[in-house]
Amino acid sequence: MKFSIQVDNIKCGGCASQISGKLLKLAFVTSVEVDVENGSISGDMDGEHSVEIQATLASMGYPPVGSQHGLEALGSKAKSFVSCAIGTMSKED
């Protein structure tokens, strides 16, 4: 089954790397593509697990577009910066 989601806070290849790696660790996700420019994530999964995918992304600081406001959105931005930095450093190794 295919999935596609628009998320906030994707900034670079480091973000994309972290997102792909984390989602591919989920047993039901079989492929992931991250479009940094459009802020979209798509791929394939075994069965219907959209809620779990969205929860995983939100925990990393990449919530669905427009789903968070105020302090909650600020907290997600902070999480995404950490995830981005880790992904960027991992790509340099």
pLDDT tops 80 at residue 64: yes
For residues 61-78, average pLDDT: 78
pLDDT at 22 (0 to 100): 94
Which of 10-14, 30-34, 61-65, 70-74 ranks highest by mean pLDDT? 30-34
What angle do helix axes 13-24 and 50-60 make, rounded to 10 degrees? Answer: 140
Top-confidence range, 8-17, 35-44, 70-79: 35-44
The 3 state secondary structure assigned to the chain is CEEEEEECCCCCHHHHHHHHHHHHCCCCEEEEEEECCCCEEEEEECCCCHHHHHHHHHHHCCCECCCCCHHHHHHHHHHHHHHHHHHHHHHHC
Place of tokens 């039901």: 28
pLDDT at 90: 61
Once rounded to an integer, what is the mean pLDDT over residues 30-40? 96
Structural domains of the chain sorted by starting position, each given as residue range(s) with its CATH number in brackets: 2-92 (3.30.70.100)
- Kindly report the pTM of this predicted structure: 0.79
Supply the pLDDT for residue 48. 86
Nearest to 57 by CA among 38, 73, 75, 41: 41
Per-residue confidence (pLDDT) for residue 33, from 0 to 100: 97
